[in-house]
Structure 1
Amino acid sequence: MFRKLNDPGAQALSLTIDGVPVKAEAGETVAAVLLRQAVPIARSTPVRGSPRAPYCMMGVCFDCLAIVDGVASTQTCMLPVRDGMRVERQQGKRSITS
């Protein structure tokens, strides 16, 4: 659905989404990378399990929440990618671990 316009001067980065290696460029958000995937969802809703994808891309709608580097409910539209970042799609309600 979406594809990245190449910036020849951008630094190439690598992150994982659900354990699968994905390429990204410095300066883009995790949500933008999620939207380029074959399955562009970031999470499923807590009650019905409906899929949600990044929508507003400015931190208002919370449809882009995902688990980033072990931290649940992270707004991926507000987070720039970093090399080695681990992203997991958030399924259902958030669990609290101690």
Structure 2
Amino acid sequence: MFKRIKATETPRVSFSFEGQPIEASTGDTVASALMLSGQTHFRNTPISQSERGPFCMMGVCFECLVEIDGIPNRQACMIPVREGMVVRRQKGAIGVETE
């Protein structure tokens, strides 16, 4: 289980993941907040639909991709939580739009 090393008093924020409310500390990344709440399945792979979750927690591996406020391909380990954000699992490959 993922847990904080040291508990500190920090302001709290609320956001949702897959429609469920999650509470986090200000300064947490989306990935750390989700893992602290017990979530380990962040995305599904494009071919086999295997469940994936954070691996490196420093923006190198791209295993923590999620959709945040309707924008896909966001690295959960690099994005700080903010009040009211809506986070969803990324399902498969999401293409990059070009004009």
* TM-score of the aligned structures, taking structure 1 as reference length: 0.89
Q: Among the aligned pairs, what percent are the same residue?
A: 42
Distance in structure 2 (CA, Å) of the matches to 1:3 and 1:14: 18
Spell out structure 1 runs of 4+ moving beyond 3 A.
none
AA in 2 matched with 1:70: G
**Map of 1:13 onto structure 2:** 13
Distance in structure 2 (CA, Å) of the matches to 1:40 and 1:92: 16
**Map of 1:91 onto structure 2:** 91
AA in 1 matched with 2:63: D
Structure 2 gap segments, 5+ residues each? none
Structure 1 gap segments, 5+ residues each? none
* TM-score of the aligned structures, taking structure 2 as reference length: 0.88
AA in 1 matched with 2:77: C
How many residue pairs align between the two structures? 96
Cα RMSD over matched residues? 1.6
AA in 2 matched with 1:7: T
Deviations 1:7-56 (A, max 9, x none): 11x11000000010010000110011122233411101001101111110
